[in-house]
Amino acid sequence: MRKAGWAILAVLVVGIGVWAHGLVNPFDLEPSARAAGYGGAFCGLAEGSDALLYNPGALILPHRPEFSSDYMSQLGGLSSVVWLAGASGNWAGAIAYLSAGGIETEPGGDALAFNQVGVALAGAWELGGLPLPLPLRLGVGATLRYVRAQLADKAGSGLSLGLGALGIVDVGAASFRVGIAMDDLGFGIGFGEDVPREAWSVGIRLGAALVLPNFKLDMDYGGGLRFGLGFSFNPAFELRAGIALEGGMTRFALGLGFGWRSFTLDYALITHPLLPSSHRFGFGFSF
């Protein structure tokens, strides 16, 4: 297992210069309501099932076994994603469903149905014995994703691999985290011999975070800059805000998190300079 962890870390370092754009899948839309409240700046803050989306290396962080469900709506309800996930120990799994309504081939023509179903499984390992002067904990992880897409009468499927690493330094009550993640390594989706294969949207994400008992701050870079922060008034309530500077556009996010015993509720509002604002809702419980 430790050899596999070092291999993952080597691929991440080599892959920093790799960036490609292609087919978007349900995982790329990042349906987590909790992370959306931070503006998607979550590479260093991811825990539990959110590690499936942002950094599988974060699964080394201690957490109770959990189940979570999230729903996101975009473009005035034209597109939506449903996300069901669970995590226990160093492992997590999820199912995601993306529906894009109907796509007209020409104005006034028939609408083509488009949807995707995705399944993901992730695991993480903690690497020990590092000759470093700091009390650094280093975790590496991998995510395997399977996506099946339906476009009108055409169906296709494909596999992709995600890799991630998270370094953690604890100083008193503060925790400093640095993360790196690579998404969607694979050959894309094939819809048959008469349709060109759609490549995945491959990307690298870098993140740095500060975690205090009542305050969290994260900055990510991956195709643009993302900043997010969260403030807890008490253990049951968290207020979140974020900003994303990507593609020449600025998007703002506001989020709320509420916890009661083993249950959590999350909400996020994400603005867009050209399109309608999108909403994300989340519900979860831990054992």
HSE, side-chain direction, 13 A CA sphere, residue 280 = 28
pLDDT tens per residue across span 17-69: 334 445 678 898 899 999 999 999 999 999 999 999 999 999 999 889 999 99
Q: What are phi and psi of 285, to 5 degrees?
A: -150, 155
Give this prediction's pTM: 0.86
Domain covering 2-101+111-286 assigned CATH 2.60.40 in the classification? no
Q: What is the pLDDT of residue 10?
A: 39
CB–CB of 61/237 below 8 Å? no
Q: Where are the domains of the chain?
A: 2-101+111-286
Written as six digits, the tokens of 156 are 């296709």
Report the alpha-carbon distance of residue 61 to residue 57 in Å, rounded. Answer: 9
* pLDDT lower than 50: segments of the chain: 2, 5-21
> What is the pLDDT at residue 134?
66
* Euclidean distance between CA atoms 122 and 287, whole angstroms: 20
* Secondary structure E strands in 75-173: 79-88, 91-104, 111-127, 136-151, 154-171
Rounded Cα gap, residues 41 and 46, in angstroms = 9
User: What's the pLDDT at 234?
Assistant: 86
Asked if 202 and 184 count as a contact pair (C-beta separation under 8 A), the reply is: yes
Answer whether 167's CB lies under 8 Å from 137's CB: yes
